[in-house]
Chain A
Amino acid sequence: MTLRGFCCSIVLLMGVIVPISAATLAEYKFEDPEKDRDFRAIIEEMRCLVCQNESLAGSNADLAVDLRNEIYDMMQSGQTKDDVIGFMVDRYGDFVLYNPPMRPSTYPLWFGPLILFVIGAALLYRAIRRKKQSQETNLSEDEQHRLASLLNEKSNTKDVSK
Chain B
Amino acid sequence: MKSTLRFAVPLIIFGVIAAFLFKGLNMNPREIPSPLIGKSVPEFSLPLLEQPETQITDQDLLGKPYLLNVWATWCVSCRAEHETLVQLANTGKVDIYGLNWKDESIKAKAWLRQLGNPYVANIFDEKGRTAIDLGVYGAPETFVVDSKGVIHYKHAGPLTPQLVAEKLLPLVEKLKQEG
Contacts and interface: CB of A to CB of B under 8 A. Distances in A.
B24 interface: no
Contact of A93 (B32, B129, B133, B134): B32
Contacts of A52: 29
Contacts of B129: 70
Interface string A46-79: 0001101000000000110011001000000000
A92 B138 contact: no
Q: How large is the interface on A (under 10, 10 to 19, 20 to 34, 35 or more residues)?
A: 10 to 19
Nearest to B30: A52
B29 A92 contact: no
A66 B128 contact: yes
Contacts of B33: 93, 95
B72 to A, nearest CB: 10
A49 B137 contact: yes
Contacts of A50: 137-138
Nearest to B102: A62
Interface residues of B, number: 15
A91 B29 contact: no
Interface in B25-74: 29, 32-36
Given A52-B29, A92-B137, A70 B132 contact: yes
B32 A63 contact: no
A120 to B, nearest CB: 12
A91 B34 CA distance: 8
A89 interface: yes
Contact of B138 (A49, A90, A95): A49
Contacts of A70: 129, 132
A63 B35 contact: no
Contact of A91 (B102, B128, B133, B138): B133
A66 B32 contact: no
23 contacts: A49-B32, A49-B137, A49-B138, A52-B29, A63-B137, A63-B138, A66-B128, A67-B132, A70-B129, A89-B35, A90-B35, A91-B35, A91-B36, A91-B134, A91-B135, A92-B32, A92-B35, A92-B137, A93-B32, A93-B33, A93-B35, A93-B135, A95-B33
Contacts of A95: 32-33
Interface string A80-115: 000000000111110100000000000000000000
Nearest to A49: B137
A154 B168 CA distance: 84
| A-B pairs, 4 with minimum CB distance | A49-B137, A91-B135, A93-B35, A95-B32
Contacts of A67: 132
Given A49-B138, A50-B137, A50-B138, 5 more contacts: A63-B138, A91-B36, A91-B133, A92-B35, A93-B32
Chain A CB count within 10 A is highest, among B29, B129, B132, B133, for B132
